[in-house]
Amino acid sequence: MFPYRIETDRLELERLCRENVDLFTYYELCAADDDIEEVTRHLYWNSPRTVMDARELLNNEQRSWEEGTKASYLVRPFEADEDEYGGIAGCAKLFVDWDRDVGELGVWLRKRFWGRGYAAERADALLELVFDRLDLSMVEAKVADDNERSRRTTEKHVDRYGGRRDGLFRRSAATGYYCTRVVDEHRYTISRAEYEAAIR
């Protein structure tokens, strides 16, 4: 159902699975990277505390992929230097709610890859997947109110495709390193009709 690999002009999105990333590398990437607390401040998942936690996260990714409810991809810029994480910049996610006919986009990038337009480029590729391959009616993105950097990026991207900000939902999510903060979040959506009008 989901493509194993997606390529854009500057990025390779490759399925997040054990065949594509070593368990220990994945653990280090998600738990021990120098800036991980800042990176995960606005995220909606718990960073693994142990290698076994990382193993369970990868197992959950496998199950979700097979069930068709979530596609998770390693984000690898073509021009990235091979480092201790194999040039992985972060992870891109697509959650699919088949009952609502909606795909939800998510991403996190290591701090050294911020500000390069990778989040928008990844979103372009996943929008195409949502509307052209999965035939869903709408895509959504949720951003914590105090995450100004992601809000600006998301608003610019949503505007480009004729989408909109649906509102601010109070106390709607727990975020941060080990999900210790309850936050308000903005919801942005792009409908199929808006997307198709924008790409004509």
Q: Which of 30, 36, 45 is nearest to 142 (CA)?
A: 45
**CATH number of 142's domain:** 3.40.630.30
- Give the C-alpha separation, 200 to 183, whole Å: 37
| pLDDT value of position 177 | 46
- Coil, strand or helix: which one is 38? helix
Provide the token pair at 60: 């959950």
Q: Is this model's pTM higher than 0.85 or not?
A: yes
Higher pLDDT: 96 or 184? It is 96
How many domains, the chain?
A: 1
**Cα(39)–Cα(35) distance, integer angstroms:** 6
Q: What is the average pLDDT across 44-61?
A: 86
Q: The sheet that has 5-7: what strands, in order across it?
A: 5-7, 11-15, 70-77, 90-97, 102-109, 138-144, 181-191, 164-175
What separation in angstroms does the CA of 100 have from each of 68, 70, 96, 131, 137? 14, 14, 9, 14, 9
8 A C-beta contact, residue 128 and residue 173: no
**pLDDT of 118 over the 50 cut:** yes
pLDDT at residue 66, rounded to an integer: 97
Pull the structure tokens for residue 45: 């998942």
Residue 44 vs residue 76, higher pLDDT: 76
Structural domain harbouring 122? 5-199
pLDDT value of position 179: 56
Say which residues have a Cβ less than 8 Å from residue 13's Cβ, sequence separation at least 6: 5, 6, 7, 73, 74, 75, 76, 92, 122, 125
Residue 174: per-residue pLDDT: 62
DSSP 8-state symbol, 146: T
CA 199 – CA 75 distance, rounded (Å): 24
DSSP per residue over 153-196, as a string? HHHHHHHHTT-EEEEEEEEEEEESTTS-EEEEEEEEEEEHHHHH
What region does 10 belong to: left with phi over 0, alpha with psi -120 to 50, or beta?
alpha
